[in-house]
């Protein structure tokens, strides 16, 4: 069987792969993380210059290969083009996007450095699976270096509408870079339609009925593969966590009140200011629920060197103060707001305890919190998921209380509806939701992508005459 090579900007710390903080990509890729798999990416360290030789770390179940990023490259590639240009644009927030030609040139150069460092580690039959917007150019760089392997790409974030993508000066170039992959995976049908529309607008090509797009003689397969979780394992973790002393302390602190929970990275795409405003609206409008609900928002700090993220943190500090100042009682605080991360296991126990899961991003690729919240519930007395229609997860979870997060009144009303929902309806909705989460699992996600990549039978180039030093 061909070896799988995973390429992503972040590579988990080998010691944390199964630890309490393991999450994100590790969860989605669990199925692919089998002995023999190579995971290549940024070490998370900054050095004077970007390295082009990877540092190898062998563990019993995986091999890690990492490179350091030079300080200037970190700023231009990671903070700059990836997170100040692509991130806001792809999340349909063009007013927050900035463009700097020099940053883009460095983004391309860093993608080349990834390809260069990967080159010597590759075997001719490796399946290469590149992840996310930070690394769009890696396939084209590898091809330019004569790599003939099958190479796939998965976009974890949403694909933007063509009119928004058009704002980006090198949009055509990025689309062409994407079309150098053999398989392009997207989270939702909506993303695939938008991608096909953007390619059509840029080059005039139509996607075929079997979802192929041909560019300069090379055909790419465009697949939809929603990222998932292992619902059963997460449920078992939630059940265990609900017995933990911390969960007991949390339940005791509620003093019989219902809990509403939100868990997000502190990112403007997550819609936290609007969510807080909706909670404030709920508290003012539904006086009968005051003192009967506590809202816990866990917000893990993220990308703090980008100014917009710092401003968001200040805004939320301010809003928290004003909500609690206006509504708190001497023995009740309506909003518990934490800007630090808790372990995933403990959070699983909190999800199980929470009567409402509030997931209202303004735009999100998938959102695994929504799926984890569903998986964590007690099926006989489940909580209610309130989910933004702009999260990729909404496409596959129609029985959630779906809301437009820009409609503050609608979100406030949904909180009320969730609180008064009869248990029969909660059970019915939850059973349907759990069915979807179980069917669209992490395992199915990985298998779907790897199967599509394995099916690629026409490597576009002749294999390199001399293979890398680690070649089989
Ligand atoms: O989901 C998008 C994503 O950028 C992932 O690629 C990344 O692992 C995660 O969000 C956290 O972002 P960052 O790596 O910038 O901290």
**Residue 137 token pair:** 């150019």
Q: Does any ligand 1 atom lie closer than 6 A to the CB of residue 132?
A: yes
> Total structural domains in the chain?
2
Q: Are 351 and 428 found together in one domain?
A: yes
Identify whether 462 is part of a domain.
no
Identify whether 463 is part of a domain.
no
Identify whether 459 is part of a domain.
no
Please state, in angstroms and rounded to a whole number, the distance separating the CA atoms of residues 260 and 390: 20
Q: Are 128 and 184 found together in one domain?
A: yes
Q: Are 72 and 147 found together in one domain?
A: yes
Q: Are 144 and 257 found together in one domain?
A: no
Please state, in angstroms and rounded to a whole number, the distance separating the CA atoms of residues 75 and 109: 13
Identify whether 430 is part of a domain.
yes
Give φ, ψ of 284 to 5 degrees.
-75, -40
Identify whether 471 is part of a domain.
no
Tell me how far the alpha carbon of residue 292 lies from the centroid of ligand 1, in angstroms: 35
Helix, coil or strand: residue 338: strand
Q: Are 450 and 338 found together in one domain?
A: no
Domain limits for position 375: 231-438
Q: Are 224 and 242 found together in one domain?
A: no
Tell me how far the alpha carbon of residue 133 lies from the centroid of ligand 1, in angstroms: 9
Q: Are 327 and 416 found together in one domain?
A: yes
Which atom of ligand 1 lies nearest, measured to the CA of 78?
15
**CATH number of the domain that residue 8 is part of:** 3.40.50.2000
Closest to 364 (Cα-Cα) out of 232, 275, 258, 470: 275
Q: Are 394 and 411 found together in one domain?
A: yes
Q: Are 118 and 262 found together in one domain?
A: no
Identify whether 370 is part of a domain.
yes
Q: Are 203 and 221 found together in one domain?
A: yes
Tell me how far the alpha carbon of residue 365 lies from the centroid of ligand 1, in angstroms: 11
Identify whether 36 is part of a domain.
yes
Tell me how far the alpha carbon of residue 302 lies from the centroid of ligand 1, in angstroms: 9
Tell me how far the alpha carbon of residue 279 lies from the centroid of ligand 1, in angstroms: 27
Please state, in angstroms and rounded to a whole number, the distance separating the CA atoms of residues 111 and 135: 6
Q: Are 200 and 263 found together in one domain?
A: no
Q: Does any ligand 1 atom lie closer than 6 A to the CB of residue 459?
A: no
- In order along its 472 residues, the chain shows pLDDT tens digits of 799 999 999 998 776 655 444 456 887 788 778 888 999 999 999 999 999 899 999 998 899 999 999 999 999 999 999 999 999 999 999 999 999 999 999 999 999 999 999 999 999 999 999 999 999 999 999 999 999 999 999 999 999 999 999 999 999 999 999 999 999 999 999 999 999 999 999 999 999 999 999 999 999 999 999 999 999 999 999 999 999 999 999 999 999 999 999 999 999 999 999 999 999 999 999 999 999 999 999 999 999 999 999 999 999 999 999 999 999 999 999 999 999 989 999 999 999 999 999 999 999 999 999 999 999 999 999 999 999 999 999 999 999 999 999 999 999 999 999 999 999 999 999 999 999 999 999 999 999 999 999 999 865 555 554 444 333 3
Identify whether 460 is part of a domain.
no
| Alpha carbon nearest to ligand 1 atom 15, residue | 303
| Alpha carbon nearest to ligand 1 atom 8, residue | 10
Place of tokens 């995976």: 185
Q: Does any ligand 1 atom lie closer than 6 A to the CB of residue 308?
A: no
Closest to 183 (Cα-Cα) out of 467, 468, 458: 458
Q: Does any ligand 1 atom lie closer than 6 A to the CB of residue 24?
A: yes
Q: Are 113 and 239 found together in one domain?
A: no
Do the beta carbons of residue 68 and residue 90 sit within 8 Å?
Answer: no
| HEC assignment per residue over 217-258 | CEEEEEEECCCCCCHHHHHHHHHHHCCCHHHHHHHHHHCCCE
* Residues annotated catalytic, as ranges: 156, 364
* Cα–Cα distances in angstroms (integers) from residue 35 to residues 4, 58, 65, 119, in the given order: 10, 10, 14, 21
Q: Does any ligand 1 atom lie closer than 6 A to the CB of residue 135?
A: no
Q: Does any ligand 1 atom lie closer than 6 A to the CB of residue 69?
A: no
**Residue 298 token pair:** 């866990």
Q: Does any ligand 1 atom lie closer than 6 A to the CB of residue 267?
A: no
Closest to 357 (Cα-Cα) out of 324, 327, 383, 325: 383
């Amino acid at each position: 069987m061909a070896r799988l090579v995973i390429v992503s900007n972040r590579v988990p710390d080998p010691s944390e792969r199964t630890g309490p903080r393991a999450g994100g990509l590790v969860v989605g890729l669990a199925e692919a993380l089998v002995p023999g798999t190579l995971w290549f990416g940024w070490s998370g360290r900054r050095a004077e210059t970007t390295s082009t030789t990877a540092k190898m770390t062998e563990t019993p179940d995986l091999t890690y290969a990492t490179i350091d990023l030079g300080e200037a490259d970190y700023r231009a590639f990671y903070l700059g083009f990836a997170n100040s240009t692509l991130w806001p644009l792809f999340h349909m927030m063009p007013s927050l996007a900035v463009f700097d030609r020099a940053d883009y040139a460095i983004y391309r150069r860093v993608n080349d450095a990834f390809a260069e460092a990967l080159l010597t580690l590759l075997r001719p039959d490796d399946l290469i699976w590149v992840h996310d917007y930070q690394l769009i150019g890696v396939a084209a760089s590898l091809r330019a270096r004569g790599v003939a392997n099958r190479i796939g790409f998965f976009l974890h974030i949403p694909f933007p509408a063509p009119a928004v993508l058009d704002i980006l000066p090198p949009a055509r170039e990025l689309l062409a870079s994407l079309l150098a992959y053999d398989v392009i995976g997207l989270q939702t049908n909506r993303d695939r339609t938008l991608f096909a529309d953007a390619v059509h607008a840029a080059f005039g090509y139509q996607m075929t009925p079997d979802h192929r797009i041909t560019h300069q003689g090379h055909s790419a397969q465009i697949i939809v593969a929603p990222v998932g979780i292992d619902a059963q394992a997460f449920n078992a973790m939630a059940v265990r966590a609900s017995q933990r002393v911390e969960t007991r302390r949390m339940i005791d602190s509620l003093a019989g009140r219902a809990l509403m929970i939100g868990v997000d990275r502190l990112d403007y795409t997550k819609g936290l200011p609007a969510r807080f405003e909706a909670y404030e609206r709920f508290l003012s409008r539904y006086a009968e629920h005051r003192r009967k609900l506590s809202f816990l928002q866990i917000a893990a700090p993220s990308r703090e060197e980008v100014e917009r993220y710092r401003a968001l943190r200040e805004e939320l500090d301010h809003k928290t103060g004003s909500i609690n100042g206006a509504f708190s009682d001497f023995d009740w605080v309506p909003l518990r707001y934490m800007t630090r991360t808790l372990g995933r296991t403990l959070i699983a126990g909190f999800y199980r305890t929470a009567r409402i899961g509030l997931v209202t991003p303004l735009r999100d690729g998938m959102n695994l919190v929504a799926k984890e919240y569903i998986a964590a519930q007690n099926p006989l007395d489940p909580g209610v998921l309130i989910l933004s229609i702009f999260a990729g997860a909404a496409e596959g979870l129609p029985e959630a209380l779906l809301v437009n997060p820009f409609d503050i009144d609608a979100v406030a009303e949904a909180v009320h509806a969730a609180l008064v929902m009869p248990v029969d309806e909660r059970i019915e909705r939850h059973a349907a939701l759990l069915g979807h989460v179980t069917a669209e699992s992490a395992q199915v996600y990985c298998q779907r992508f790897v199967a599509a990549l394995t099916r690629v039978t026409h490597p576009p180039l002749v294999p390199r005459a001399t293979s890398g030093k680690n070649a089989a």
